[in-house]
Amino acid sequence: SQQGEEDPQALSIQEGENATMNCSYKTSINNLQWYRQNSGRGLVHLILIRSNEREKHSGRLRVTLDTSKKSSSLLITASRAADTASYFCATDIPGEKLVFGKGMKLTVNP
């Protein structure tokens, strides 16, 4: 089955900087979602963007979706140490369950 691919696989930044993560996928989707996972715990839903949407905001999060390129980006502005986590994109594919990408590890240094 299809799997989103996050890029980069790991990112280390300083507190206050912006972090951008990219996700590419292969087939048509209903929507694309981003999740955060802290240190091997459960995943927390961050934001969902539908296939007919191009951009969405939630607090310090900004998600874009380009269905022609089959890619999405997650921007975290003014990062904080508490944003340190692994981030996963998940694609909601017609007729299938959510498919998660491999994840990207973000480290925000104080």
Partner 1 sequence: SAVISQKPSRDICQRGTSLTIQCQVDSQVTMMFWYRQQPGQSLTLIATANQGSEATYESGFVIDKFPISRPNLTFSTLTVSNMSPEDSSIYLCSGGMNTEAFFGQGTRLTVV
User: Where does this chain bind partner 1 (CB under 8 A)?
Assistant: 3, 30-31, 33, 35, 40-45, 48, 88, 90, 92, 97-98, 100-103
The minimum distance between CB 76 and partner 1, in angstroms, equals: 20
Which residue's CB is nearer to partner 1, number 14 or number 27? 27
**Residue 43 Cβ vs partner 1, minimum distance, rounded to whole Å:** 4
CB of 50 to partner 1, least distance (A): 9
Look up tokens 């507190």; give the residue: 15
Which residue, 42 or 110, is less far from partner 1 as judged by CB?
42
CB nearer to partner 1: give 23 or 108: 23
Question: How is the chain classified by DSSP, letter by letter?
Answer: ----EEESSEEEEETTS-EEEEEE-SS--SEEEEEEE-TTS-EEEEEEEETT-SEEEETTEEEEEETTTTEEEEEE-S--GGG-EEEEEEEE-TTS-EEE---EEEEEE-
